Structure 1
């Protein structure tokens, strides 16, 4: 049973946890709280006003006008009663004649509290953290307007506390984001270095092998070496481009290039080494686009890789369609693979979501491919969604913003073309 002179809320442990989450105890004075406290004193015409917060042992003042006291023991706190007994306002016109406070040292001695009015600071979860109160050394009564104003000021104190908490959380999130970005940049630099070294070796070895094969007349071997050389050069370029974008993401919008869509798609297909039992149908009409080539390549690399991996048919088919309207380039990538259940069509774009599916190579995904695609499409100011039926394949429909007008040639803007 609690001490009648030291009442405790029923949810005291939860209340203390809520108070701690604001990280406000023992902090320096702040103008926003000082001004509200001063306003409470002036409106209620009292020499003392304060913002009181109660932890497990004390009553601590975030702001106080008319006194230099920073805290008092909790068992003496009028506010300890306020947070238990009311959700509106507690008014004590003369504490000397109130059984709860007549023997309180704050009443019988300095600072001689006689009049008290306090508004509890209650969070949206129902936790009373403390109060905004006004104090006088003589009996007093508040007018109806003063009571109303004190309640309004109490809500403003809590609003400032909520804002302060959100700003702290935002600062912490920004710090974590900065730390993460720094790590990613360092990791990307190291990874790029680790990738470029063996690629450079492959390139040099292939060039030396090509020189030796030139005089042998082995045309097939020469073609294979040429293919290796081209792939190595393309991969080196791709690594350099990815490094540039990892350090300056804004380049995705500012670094626009005029490109041939089919040429880009053929490069992607060559990088992926599509199995022989797959047919990839590119748009039949040539299309010239102006956009970020590296971003578009990354999108198609992920989508085509998934179309291959999650295909259980003897003959895989991938169709790529394109159309454009006044403001967007629009794409469809369809396959005849395993398909995706309707309730998972939104989840697949979330980070680390794999649906526990095993691909044709008996491996599980990392849950980063489609998440990365979604990030890139968003950055390019577009949209993406999936349409699918289990067993019948999947279609990814995405668009990116068209920033520069291009010569559409024979493109029919009203329909996708193949």
Structure 2
């Protein structure tokens, strides 16, 4: 092997064992991964034509057999272990008769105190970093040997064992990461909700007082004071919109309540919310009916963001036109297509605008940079994705695909 096993300290090795959750040996044995390990030790015994095979994990003071063929998996002290003497060699060890080998002739597994091993062969289980976790070991109570081809097969099986242990490790790490992400998202949503509530109150008061002062006839219509009041009201309105978008973004990866949702009915609800803006822009909407599996609230948020963007980023020389359709793209996925005739987004910027708080320098229209990022997170939370394309004739087409959800 190219890895120098002896170059890794025992402390490093034990830390690696802890990462793999193998330091507990048999007490950590659970799940389908260990069924695969059982199958591999059976194969090892069959390939080498011996009755016994084990996977040994060597801890600081013990040997744990986490899979065995021909014997009951057990635990012994590291001092009594045969594999503990050779597992850090970095290569396969074969002994035709342990009674003739000075390393093993007095070992309790050879003398009869624990067992009467005569033939013995083992190959180390080595991580990519060079830490030997233990061995794949085959043995017999009679002298024997294995061919170079059988030795090579033993090494291949050891590699397969490490693949299984690595898969178990990555699965556990992914599970932990997902739990931490879920907790982080919950905390983010809770924090965003609390901050939103705390900020909305003062902003509502500011807007209210500004509107009261605007109605005061004592302030001349074209005076500087009235202009300042208008600016205060507009700034408070923009801040309120930003807080609402931040809250929607924070909540967009929350728990999904997936159910059949009517696209047409959701668009009608969004139209009601944006009725004033749609009327002011002279926008025309076309929608095709489709029933897809999605979280109703999050689908509403996605469509509202897309429609608001279409109104905000409309082309200066034509009235906004929006066409919304959907269809089944695979057995477990459906895609929503949102086409507008606005100013569009340059190809080199289409991936970047899906990131939070990204605003294009060339765009003079006010915005928070959260609308498309929120839509992207909603699609991802549903096990899907968001893609941006150019609409034929000019504008932006958004493809939002939904899977079964996370």
Q: 1:81-133 CA deviation, whole Å, 9 max, x = no partner?
A: 22233x23111111112111111111111321111110111222222111001
Q: Which residue of 1 aligns with 2:361?
A: 333
Q: Which residue of 1 aligns with 2:170?
A: 166
Instruction: Determine whether 1:238 maps to 2:235.
Output: no
Give distance in 1, aligned partners of 2:208 and 2:96.
Answer: 92
Give distance in 2, aligned partners of 1:403 and 1:120.
Answer: 57
Report SS of the residue matched to 1:333.
Answer: coil
Q: What is the TM-score normalised by the length of structure 2?
A: 0.63
Check conservation: 2:86, 2:93, Cα contact below 8 A.
yes
Instruction: Determine whether 1:229 maps to 2:233.
Output: yes
Give distance in 2, aligned partners of 1:190 and 1:325.
Answer: 37
Q: Which residue of 1 aligns with 2:29?
A: 28
Give distance in 2, aligned partners of 1:121 and 1:153.
Answer: 10
1:169-318 equivalence runs, <5 A: 169-211=173-215, 213-214=216-217, 217=220, 219-220=222-223, 221-248=225-252, 254=303, 255-257=305-307, 259=309
- Out of 82, 98, 101, the residue aligned to residue 98 of structure 1 is 101
1:259/1:60 CA distance change after superposition, 3 Å: closer
Displacement of 1:9:
8.2
1:248/1:111 CA distance change after superposition, 3 Å: same
Displacement of 1:153:
0.4
Q: 1:376-409 CA deviation, whole Å, 9 max, x = no partner?
A: 49949xxxxxxxxxxxxxxxxxxx824755756x
Displacement of 1:240:
2.2
Q: Which residue of 2 aligns with 1:319?
A: none
Check conservation: 1:47, 1:136, Cα contact below 8 A.
yes
List gaps (5 residues or longer) in structure 2: 1-5, 254-297, 324-342, 354-358, 378-386, 396-406
List gaps (5 residues or longer) in structure 1: 1-7, 266-282, 292-321, 336-369, 381-399, 409-418
Aligned residues: 301
1:139/1:259 CA distance change after superposition, 3 Å: closer
1:334/1:404 CA distance change after superposition, 3 Å: closer
Check conservation: 2:8, 2:131, Cα contact below 8 A.
no
- Out of 88, 91, 104, the residue aligned to residue 91 of structure 2 is 88
Report SS of the residue matched to 1:257.
Answer: helix
Q: Which residue of 2 aligns with 1:341?
A: none
Displacement of 1:64:
1.5
Give distance in 2, aligned partners of 1:196 and 1:10.
Answer: 58
Displacement of 1:145:
3.0
1:118/1:247 CA distance change after superposition, 3 Å: same
Displacement of 1:208:
2.3
1:105/1:73 CA distance change after superposition, 3 Å: same
Q: Which residue of 1 aligns with 2:388?
A: 401
Report SS of the residue matched to 2:250.
Answer: helix
Q: What is the TM-score normalised by the length of structure 1?
A: 0.61
1:130/1:161 CA distance change after superposition, 3 Å: same
Q: Which residue of 1 aligns with 2:401?
A: none
Check conservation: 1:53, 1:130, Cα contact below 8 A.
yes
Report SS of the residue matched to 2:88.
Answer: helix
- Out of 14, 29, 33, the residue aligned to residue 16 of structure 1 is 14
